[in-house]
Each structure stands twice: as structure tokens, then as C-alpha cells.
Amino acid sequence: MRSKIKKCRNCDLYTLKENCPICGAPTHQTKPARFSPEDRYGRYRRALRQESE
Ligand SMILES: [Zn+2]
């Protein structure tokens, strides 16, 4: 199940609703977060470990 996290630009609040529960303004979908290099290497290392075991 995909989570569609949205954000109110006015309140800087994350919500799943179409409208902000605080100010009622329409929320906007958040852009996918970029993976940091550290996280990518962490994943890579974990994958390697799984294969070797
Ligand atoms: Zn708001």
C-alpha cells in the first residue's frame, strides 16, 4: 500500500488528507526525498551481507 503523504505549505504540516486539518488549505504532494549517499551505501552493504550468508 502506497502512502501518499501530503504537506500544507502554510503550516509546514504533513498529512494524508486533501486539506490541511489546521488551516483548511489544499495540501500538496511531497516530492520524493533524495537518498543520501550514506543511505545508499548502507543499503548496498546490507544487500551484500544477505547474499554472502
Ligand atoms: Zn495548513
Are the beta carbons of 17 and 27 closer than 8 angstroms? yes
CA pair distance 26, 35, nearest whole angstrom: 27
The amino acid at residue 9 is R
CA–centroid distance, residue 36 to ligand 1 (Å): 28
Note the pLDDT tens digit of each residue in 3-42.
Answer: 789 999 999 999 999 999 999 999 999 876 666 666 666 6
Instruction: Look at 46 and 19; give whichever has higher pLDDT.
Output: 19
CA–centroid distance, residue 18 to ligand 1 (Å): 11
Task: Please tell me the total number of residues recorded for the chain in this structure.
Answer: 53
CA–centroid distance, residue 42 to ligand 1 (Å): 35
CB under 5 Å of ion ligand 1: residues: 8, 10-11, 20, 22-23
- pLDDT computed for residue 46 by the predictor: 72
Name the nearest CA neighbour of 13 among 2, 5, 34. Answer: 5
- pLDDT computed for residue 14 by the predictor: 94
